Chains A and B, each alone.
Chain A
Amino acid sequence: MKNRTLITRRKALVAGLTSLGALMLPGCSKPVPPTYGNILRMGDAFTYAAQRTLLPGQSLVKEYRYGDISSFPATGTTNPADTSSPQFNEDYSRHLKNAFADWGLSVEGLVSHPGKYSLAALQKFPARKQITRHTCEEGWTAIAEWTGVPLSTVLQGAGISQNARFVSFYSYDGWVDCIDMLDAFHPQTILAYGMNGRDLPVPHGAPVRLRVETQIGYKSMKYIERIMVTDTFVDVGDTGWAWYVGI
């Protein structure tokens, strides 16, 4: 007698592939990070999907004690006002000379009232202090105390749209990158203007840097100039680096 309830390997495979396809279908209509047909970027996309599916929403990263603060290397761009540096930026140089007095962080895109926030205006928001571990993709770690305003506070203050999907950051050293809404609204994702109780030093991203504590260090961009809220992924091309680095 033929057993109709028997799960054959073929049936299991077909069922598995069909459900996998069904899972991927809605993904096609969504504005997701491109993979450029690159198998490594596909792996990154899989890691992103897996972490967003399997990990609980917005767990906080470990916060440390004041005594845990450690030495902290400054890498990547360490001074955009340095004329000999390939990341030299004239505007930045002018702002630095002026102690960032007329500097302003521009918030644009899908917000009901776009505008510029001076350093004083950012400091007027309720501040958040956090002593967290910076994990560099290179392999090193360092602990510092960061003072800043939660990114969610600024975005909500600017009247962020319901359709917002990504928040992009443009920095004075020419770097552009974005994060999704889950990380943008993470309570520990802040626009930091203070480090270890003082103003943020130039090598660490003065006047304001991003802290994305749930991802690897390079997502915590320094020297932020402009924030852009969009409903699609702002594609700057394949940088050769994973876009999502929660791992």
Chain B
Amino acid sequence: MESQPTSTPPLRHARWVRSSHWIITISFLLLAFSGFVILMCHPRLYWGEVGNDLTPALFELPVSRNYQHGGWENQTPFFATAGSPVSASRSYDIFNQNGWGRSLHFLSAWFLVITGVVYLVAGLFTGHFKNRLWPQSGEFSPRLFWRDVVAHLRMNMFTAQANYNPLQKAAYLGVIFVLMPVIVLTGLTMSPAITAAYPFLLKMFFGAQSARTIHFFASVFLELFLLVHVAMVIRSGFKQHMRAMTIGK
């Protein structure tokens, strides 16, 4: 059913939605920033349990002077066999701001995780997920999705509505129930104390370095979501959306 712009109920958000939205926004921006600083220290990504400057990378990102740095002394093999793993000493002063970078990352992560858990519990019990985010029957049909995609591309459905369209619902559900859990769990998989207690995490994400790589891609997807989200907010009535998400009217 197509709703008429004139008859749509005004956009409102509950207080807990508004406060968790902004706490998570600030935490996410700090996490993205500190995460980038941490990545700059070692801009190489791997698959499996092991990855370092002496082993091959999946890919390297040219984001700091540590990119493809060659500051290594002669390699010494550990074993007498051919193709033995080696040791080499670093002779190069790398970029490393992880002292504050890591601590800021984890501090922000606490705010994100605690607020996220409160949000999930509230969303479940207030019916927020069921009423506003969960697709109505038949709403996620390919035909309706396609119509929604076309409408977005033509940019002709940009009026702020209380009812989310299928693409919007899919995006929010993907962020809340896929990307966020994945990024939190892969983050925990990089922790030695946590994987000692819960070794299934290493199995689930194929190793510590795979978890780091998945963590990176999840963050890229979340940043893309943020860009699209902000663009949509601007296109479909910035003032109205900001009022709805701040003072709630």
Contact = CB atoms under 8 A, between A and B. Distances in A.
A216 interface: yes
A204 B208 contact: no
A201 B94 CA distance: 23
A140 B42 contact: yes
B52 interface: yes
A200 to B, nearest CB: 11
A19 interface: no
Interface stretch (B5-13, B43-51, B135-143, B232-240): B43-51
B62 to A, nearest CB: 16
Given A141-B209, A196-B78, A240-B100, A47 B110 contact: yes
Interface residues on A, range: 35 or more
A79 interface: yes
A242 B103 contact: yes
Interface centre among B195, B197, B212 (most CB of A within 10 A): B197
Interface string B81-97: 00001111110001010
B104 A40 contact: yes
A73 B87 contact: yes
Interface in A29-73: 39-44, 46-47, 51, 55-56, 59-62, 64, 68-73
Contacts of A245: 102
A153 interface: no
Nearest to A241: B99
Nearest to B50: A70
Interface residues of B, number: 48
B106 interface: yes
B194 interface: yes
Contact of A138 (B42, B73, B193): B42
Nearest to A238: B99
Given A51-B193, A59-B196, A240-B99, A139 B85 contact: no
Contacts of B195: 61-62
Interface in B12-54: 38-39, 41-42, 44, 49-54
B51 A140 contact: yes
B87 A133 contact: no
Contacts of B38: 139
Contacts of A69: 78, 85
A56 B194 CA distance: 10
B31 to A, nearest CB: 12
A142 B52 contact: yes
A73 B103 contact: no
A242 B38 CA distance: 14
A68 B100 contact: no
A43 B110 contact: yes
Interface of A: 39-44, 46-47, 51, 55-56, 59-62, 64, 68-75, 78-79, 133, 135-144, 195-198, 201, 203-204, 213-216, 239-242, 245-247
15 contacts: A46-B107, A62-B196, A70-B85, A71-B85, A72-B54, A72-B85, A135-B208, A139-B39, A140-B44, A203-B89, A204-B87, A214-B193, A215-B192, A216-B192, A247-B106
